[in-house]
Structure 1
Amino acid sequence: MILSKLFQNKKAVYSFEIFPPKPTAELSAVQNTIRELSALSPDYISVTCSAGGSNNAGTAGIAKLVKECGVEPLAHVTCLHSDKAAVEAALAELSRNGVQNILALRGDRIEGRPLSPDFRYASDLVSFIRAQGYAFDIAAACYPEGHPESENVREDIRNLKIKVDAGVSHLNTQLFFDNEDFFRFMELCGVAGIDVPVQAGVMPLVKKNHVDRIVALSGGKIPAKISRMISRFYDKPEALMEAGIAYATEQIIDLLTSGAAGVHLYVMNNTYVARKITENIGYILGELNQQ
């Protein structure tokens, strides 16, 4: 199923993001993760590129495993360090594996690797995919606090409009922790004429390394409420886990009751977190989607 149909049929789409295992890891670990996440009945599961965004290795295979578990996969495809031939090969493999949905991304800059001769922006990738004749549904990323390389949020919105007009069917946001940033972003999207569904990306802060690494990489703003939580439970892993789940649950409920088209949960392959949050919001999701 193409994901754009989900947004036509549901008021609140709910999904998870996972990442492929490292080359040295056992495939069985991610297979178990996929099975456990699939049992929670998400609308789809997105599959990132390999660690660091270096290439698309493993993405198509993991997406196929997701599909075999009865859940629609959304496969990430990046372009910043790829030429047209490499992207075409990735698209062909995804198509052979029965994948119908792609998240088109520029990707992270990798020190020492040459930039693409064919792609500068994600909008270039979207246009290229559309031109290949595949029947992919194409999603893209957006940034409620503004892309780190944009001068300001308004410039970022203008660039986002170009990307959407190239053929994007829905958007997933980068993680954020203050819902007011998302609401302001949605207002700006409306003014700019961006009318595709936007899923709010939520990442529960449940481990110290999330705070030390992922937040620093994403540039996400940390509200005072989270800062107090982190300070209080930084060296108490079980308490931080439960506090992070509670904060994410509260954030998601506010997003859903305020009319967000859905929530995309960055679970870092942690099925316990996914299960607890799904249990917390499952009834609300059910009520929204019955209306």
Structure 2
Amino acid sequence: MTPQTSERKSRLLGAGEIDVSFEFFPPKSEKMEQALWAAIERLSPLCPSFVSVTYGAGGSTRERTHTTVARIINETALKPAAHLTCVDASREEVDAVAQAYWDAGVRHIVALRGDPASGVGQSYIPTPGGYQNAADLVAGLKRIANFEISVAGYPEKHPESASLKSDIDNLKAKVDAGADRIITQFGFDNTHYLRFLERARAAGIWVPITPGIVPIHSFRQVAGFAVRTGASVPAWLARRFEGLDEDPATTHLVAAAVATEQVMDLVDEGVKSFHFYTLNRADLVYAICHLLGLRPLRAAPLEARKAAS
């Protein structure tokens, strides 16, 4: 049970008491690239533990992901984590991408099975000659180099899993193959995350399990994402955004309150690390992090910031 308001540790959070990481996606146009780098510049002074860059279905954003990660390495002091999937690529092709990341200075990979190029919800068929699943990919990456590897977890189970048990068994296979961290799919009811954590620990999974948090820039859009990834949308959440489809300013105020409340409740349960799905938008994430006690460090030259990291 959440502590009473007067006793809540989250009310007294200060800088350094929690860790955050941010996810971005590679831009498709010059305008989107400007938005991405504005978001990175806005959030980087909060000193995230790492920032991840997504990888499109079927490797459709492979080059853009690599370009974005390379620029983060060359122009910032941030530590990038590149997403990598098994879809539509042979082992040799995936290994070549991983080796290129290592050679470019990337030391952290988010290893995912990936969704079929035809889209979420379609049947997954392993690529002939490719990695069969995320556990297989993790093992392959560890053979290439000593990458830090994060993998995905699903508090309400992956949509394709037959049961909660089979989902945990699959998760344990990824950890046994060498995964160092689990990042969960976003959700809105903390009960699901806490039960997932209990199931994982009971199964002998002891790596850090970081909850994924998504600020709701558009309720309709995020609810659609949730349905496709197996995350439930509570009735109380829908009620909070009711009537705001054409009112983005109020939507963002409500979203900041909802996400901050969710994270503070988890802090009071002992959780100290959070992964934000930014959707390449910084203002909401920045506001939430501020409410959580994070404060920006004064900007410093790239060389000095890298030396301090």
Task: Calculate the TM-score normalised by the size of structure 1.
Answer: 0.87
Cα distance per residue 1:29-51 (max 9 Å; x no partner): 32232222212222211111147
1:89 aligned residue (86, 96, 101): 96
Structure 1 residue runs without a partner (length 5+): 1-9, 285-291
Please state how far the C-alpha of 1:212 moved relative to its aligned partner: 5.2
Matched, 1:139 2:150: yes
1:217 Cα deviation after fit: 2.3
Name the SS of the counterpart of 2:152 in structure 1.
Answer: strand
* Counterpart for residue 6 of structure 1: none
- Greater shift, 104-113 or 196-205, is seen at 104-113
Q: Is the 8 A contact 2:110 2:149 kept in 1?
A: yes
- Structure number, greater radius of gyration: 2
8 Å CA contact 1:100–1:136 kept in 2: the answer is: yes
Counterpart AA for 1:223: P
SS of equivalent to 2:242: helix
Aligned-pair identity (%): 35
Would the alpha carbon gap of residues 212 and 52 (structure 1) be closer, same or farther in structure 2, given more than 3 Å must change? farther
Write the mapping of 1:69-148 to structure 2, written as runs, cut at 5 A. Answer: 69-111=76-118, 115-117=126-128, 118-132=130-144, 134-148=145-159
Q: How large is the Cα RMSD of the aligned pairs? A: 2.2
AA paired with 1:194?
I
Alpha-carbon distance between aligned partners in 2 of 1:155 and 1:97, rounded to the nearest angstrom? 37
- The answer to whether the Cα contact below 8 Å between 2:49 and 2:79 also exists between their aligned partners in 1 is yes
Q: Secondary structure at the match of 1:231?
A: coil
Deviates more, 1:99-108 or 1:199-208: 199-208
State the secondary structure of the residue aligned to 1:104: strand
Deviation, 1:110, is 1.6
Q: Which residue of 2 aligns with 1:35?
A: 41
Q: Identify if the C-alpha distance between structure 1 residues 157 and 115 changes in structure 2 by more than 3 Å, giving closer, same or farther.
A: closer
Counterpart in the other structure of 2:64: 58
Q: Which runs of 4+ in 1 moved over 6 A?
A: none
Q: Which residue of 1 aligns with 2:251?
A: 240
Matched residue of 1:160: which SS? helix
Aligned residue pairs total 274
1:277 matches 2:283: no
CA-CA distance at 1:237 after TM superposition: 1.6
For 2:32 and 2:239, the matched residues in 1 are separated by: 37
The 8 Å contact of residues 22 and 276 in structure 2, kept in 1 or not, is answered as: yes
**Paired AA for residue 82 in structure 1:** A
Is the contact between residue 58 and residue 114 of structure 2 (CA under 8 Å) also seen in structure 1?
no
Alignment partners' CA distance in 1, 2:188 and 2:65: 28
Contact 1:50 1:58 in 2 (8 A): no
2:41 corresponds to which letter in structure 1? R
- What secondary structure, in the 3-state scheme, does the structure 1 residue paired with 2:52 have? strand
**Do the aligned partners of 1:55 and 1:78 also contact (CA within 8 Å) in 2?**
no
Shift of 1:114: 7.4
Any idea what the Cα deviations from partners look like across 1:130-171, whole Å, max 9, x if unmatched?
Answer: 122x12111111000101100121210011111100000111
The whole-number CA distance in structure 1 between the counterparts of 2:245 and 2:24 is 25
Q: How does 1:166-245 map to 2 (within 5 A)?
A: 166-211=177-222, 213-245=224-256
1:264 to 270, 275, 280: 275
| Superposition deviation, residue 233 in structure 1 | 2.2
Between the aligned partners of 1:181 and 1:52, the Cα distance in structure 2 is: 30
TM normalised by structure 2 equals: 0.82
Q: Aligned residue for 1:164?
A: 175
